[in-house]
């Protein structure tokens, strides 16, 4: 059997996509790793991974990548939608351009990439879409409402795909990471407006931005867990792993108002 062909988005060095690409390759797959800046993926070269530039909000760039892979391999077996950006700060003070950019990268890119690949998978009645979501999709933290909203939207879209792709034998896997070592906090600055009403909450906002990188699960461990499940004979449709993933699952069982009060005391209250 020919090796599975895997497309991974958002593969900048030391991020989640970077390690997912490495792990798929280590398990015998032919991997195409993509990122906006191809120079930030150079450490993947020696692993026999092909590198392609891709801005996931650019339809024409997506078409070029998909056409290149199809020309080289004749198929795409697995698509990993990992590319994403953080968006942290008071929900009503974040610039709308930043909010729109977060939705464009975190949500609409999943539709763009999957739309481009879907006809090829459907023709073969074979394939898998993997979406990297987040535990905050179901349990929003203060100062991260926009990011959580993008992940909540992605979770809903992926659940719909899981059902709608069944007629074509296309598997769909939603992954909800807890705290996993990545670049997401380091790549996200917080620049409050001069007239912010939340000046005294700055430390709490920065703590929320950085919480995912406080004693996180090593990225290689996370990647191995995801790839092993994805390549299993009967892959799941949902999995969650990473530090605090069980805590967030546990919180969904409590009354909503209690959870919101608990999270505010944890991440917001300065009294």
| Contacting residues for 135 by C-beta, under 8 A, at least 6 apart | 176, 177, 178, 240, 242, 244, 245, 248, 249
* Contact yes or no for 31/51 (Cβ under 8 A): no
Q: What is the CA radius of gyration of the chain?
A: 19
Which residue from 61, 70, 63 is spatially nearest to 38, judged by alpha carbons?
61
CA-to-CA dists, residue 232 to 115, 117, 179, 265, angstroms: 25, 22, 24, 41
Tell me the two tokens of residue 79. 């698509």
Is 151 one of the catalytic residues?
yes
Q: Mapping DSSP to helix (H, G, I), strand (E, B) and coil, where does residue 112 land? A: helix
Report the alpha-carbon distance of residue 22 to residue 176 in Å, rounded: 20
Given 147, 171, 201, 204, which residue is catalytic? 147
Strand ranges across the sheet with 5-8? 50-53, 30-35, 5-8, 78-81, 127-132, 170-175, 238-239
Report the alpha-carbon distance of residue 68 to residue 56 in Å, rounded: 15
Is 4 one of the catalytic residues?
no
Given 4, 22, 30, 151, which residue is catalytic? 151
CA-to-CA dists, residue 38 to 80, 124, 210, angstroms: 17, 30, 26
Q: Which residues are catalytic?
A: 147, 151
């Amino acid at each position: 059997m020919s090796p599975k062909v895997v497309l991974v988005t958002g593969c900048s060095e030391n991020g989640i996509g970077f390690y997912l690409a490495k792990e798929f390759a280590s398990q015998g797959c032919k991997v195409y790793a993509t990122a906006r800046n191809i120079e930030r993926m150079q450490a993947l070269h020696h692993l026999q991974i092909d590198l392609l530039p891709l801005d996931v909000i650019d339809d024409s760039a997506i078409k070029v990548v998909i056409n290149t892979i199809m020309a080289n391999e004749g198929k795409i077996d697995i698509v990993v939608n990992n590319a994403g950006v953080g968006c942290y700060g008071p929900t009503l003070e974040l610039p709308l351009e930043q909010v729109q950019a977060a939705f464009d990268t975190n949500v609409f890119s999943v539709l763009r990439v999957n739309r481009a690949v879907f006809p090829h998978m459907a023709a073969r009645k074979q394939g898998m879409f993997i979406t990297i979501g987040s535990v905050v999709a179901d349990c929003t933290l203060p100062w991260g409402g926009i990011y959580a909203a993008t992940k909540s939207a992605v979770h809903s879209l992926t659940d719909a795909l899981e059902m709608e792709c069944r007629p074509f034998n296309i598997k769909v896997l939603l992954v909800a990471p807890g705290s996993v070592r990545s670049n997401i906090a380091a790549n996200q600055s917080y620049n409050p407006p001069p007239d912010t009403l939340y000046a005294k909450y700055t430390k709490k906002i920065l703590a929320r931005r950085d919480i995912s990188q406080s004693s996180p699960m090593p990225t290689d461990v996370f990647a191995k867990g995801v790839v092993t499940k994805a390549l299993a004979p009967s892959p799941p449709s949902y999995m969650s792993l990473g530090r605090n993933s069980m805590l967030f699952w546990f919180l969904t069982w409590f009354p909503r108002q209690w959870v919101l009060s608990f999270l505010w005391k944890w991440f917001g209250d300065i009294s």
